Chain A
């Protein structure tokens, strides 16, 4: 019964509101609540907002303004809220932007960056605002237009300073250690099992007279993991050319395929066997994820590679490929920077390059001093991060939260 009554009241309310918006010329029916229609306005209109101020929001190109105003404290109870209007000149056409509740005295105006949008807000320009107080009795009082308030575009996003510091610092490290390596400074690198196994794995394929399968993953050519994989493919292909065994590189992406063709061709050239290269080694399968998996599975089942490489960007297909490869008895070397897929490779493959080891692999294989130099830079980066964590933990324990603010990025 109570529900019915409520429903009836709501329907009535909706009807009244609806009727109101048809007959009144209000731009927004929000202001004309049922109460205002039902009761005659006997009280005076609400007090006006005053003291409008505007400040530019930092870290953008000047399409945001924070508008603030004041309102007599004793009159707050008389109003339901405010409307905020904006124009480009005090006498120009004002546009309603939004509302604020009665105890809020500021509004963040986020303008549109593009011209055709109705709430477009040009950067480095002046704006004028009006705040309309909406009385509980339904009457409205407009404030004097405030302004001009100016938006400013910034040249630098200050909230991103910690990122910039990190990038610059790390860039310097990389540069320094590469230069040091150029001068012939000997660098020690610890052995990685996955890398040491590469020669043996290709050798095994040669002995068995079976092909080697190299999968570049399903990433695009601008993915760091894919680019790192190209470099490894170059080294692997060269060895394969030297051993005169067969290489299969089925691709998921056409650009990746194009680049892989160049890489393999030049490896064969370097090995002095350009005649043995053909585009049939590196080919396109399809660019539907699991259709690609089906295709590669078929290749494994029918061509029976003795060695499989899975290096690059991988998603859910990682385990399907690795288990199929295992079932045909291939030696498998995997590596990816995709954290969710690493466990599957670790479980199902013989050797796995975990995360950053994938990026380091080409430096290891080539023993190119320039590339090895950058590994040293990475270690320094890790050292600094570790130091930051230790200092930060100590700071947190002693309650100095300011330290975290040094690292935190405010987007």
Chain B
């Protein structure tokens, strides 16, 4: 009875201490743990889509986030691009975020190098991937690209005319890429759905931050064929391509944290229900 009451009214600092210790341990000892992540359908469908493509097929990836959301969205960007490069899928990169251009240029170069090291494929700029740069007014740009990429991007980020880039020859609009993947941290995700998919009906998948993900579930199966949400989604994708990286490094900590919170909630409820029962019995 006394014990139960104590659990029900446990000082929250015990929760803090426990969480602090287990989560930081799980993170610091991340190399000694591996977490078996369940892959969700919405992530698997993106993987399957890329897996079923033929070598030389093309994807448009739009990196619509800026460095402030880099920590959350870079892992999934990396994983998807690595998968593309491994399978020989060409990547057309664009950013609709004002501060995104420098960041995208950097990650493209890094992932190309990583793919070379990991799979020995050596993706080349202009042949296997290219970056067309940034234009303001995302809604307009998404509409314009439905007509022709050249409306807003006559030249790529390095000022080469698109038609001089082998990869872009004959690529006019969404009809000439197999799918669009929008990795976004804001309203651009809505624009991709409303102005991209609704008007031009191209296959669309989204990668979004964890907080945003719930808002886009309703579009699964009609407007978008896949959805990756935050670290968890990225970790699932890393698992699918069998290459554990940043997202997986954080997963033990995530799992342990969720488990801790769930356990505390359960203990609290058991204590609450039992103590209520015993007070009922007394009265």
Which residues of A pack against B, CB within 8 Å? Answer: 3, 6-7, 10, 13-14, 17, 28-30, 33, 98-101, 104, 108, 110, 327, 340, 411
Contacts and interface: CB of A to CB of B under 8 A. Distances in A.
Contacts of A340: 211
B163 A30 contact: yes
B interface SS class: helix
Contact of A100 (B144, B148, B166): B148
Contacts of B87: none
A101 B161 contact: no
Contact of B147 (A14, A33, A108): A108
A317 B124 CA distance: 45
B211 A10 contact: no
B4 interface: no
A327 B122 CA distance: 57
Interface string B184-206: 00000000000000000000000
A14 B124 CA distance: 13
Nearest to A101: B172
Contact of A101 (B144, B148, B164): B148
B12 A99 contact: no
Interface string B219-236: 000000000000000000
B276 interface: no
Given A7-B124, A10-B126, A99 B164 contact: no
Contacts of A110: 140, 144, 151
Given A33-B163, A98-B154, A110-B144, 4 more contacts: A7-B127, A104-B147, A108-B144, A108-B151
A91 B253 CA distance: 70
Contacts of A104: 147-148, 172
A99 B127 contact: no
Contacts of B30: none
B12 A327 contact: yes
B139 interface: yes
Contact of B148 (A13, A14, A17, A99): A99
A6 B127 contact: yes
29 contacts: A6-B127, A7-B127, A10-B124, A10-B126, A10-B127, A13-B166, A14-B126, A14-B164, A17-B164, A28-B161, A29-B161, A29-B164, A30-B162, A30-B163, A30-B164, A33-B163, A98-B148, A98-B150, A98-B154, A99-B154, A99-B163, A100-B148, A101-B148, A108-B144, A108-B147, A108-B151, A110-B140, A110-B144, A327-B12
A295 to B, nearest CB: 21
Contacts of B164: 14, 17, 29-30
A340 B172 CA distance: 39
A138 to B, nearest CB: 13
Contacts of A33: 163
Nearest to B166: A10
Contacts of A101: 148, 172
Contacts of B151: 98, 108, 110
Contacts of A30: 161-164
Q: Which 6 A-B pairs have the closest CB atoms?
A: A30-B163, A30-B161, A101-B172, A99-B150, A17-B164, A98-B151
Nearest to A326: B12
Interface string B157-182: 00001111010000010000000000
B242 to A, nearest CB: 24
Interface in B262-283: none
Contacts of B124: 7, 10
Contacts of A17: 164
A267 to B, nearest CB: 36
B17 to A, nearest CB: 15
A29 B165 CA distance: 12
A3 B163 contact: no
A411 B143 CA distance: 11
Interface string B47-71: 0000000000000000000000000
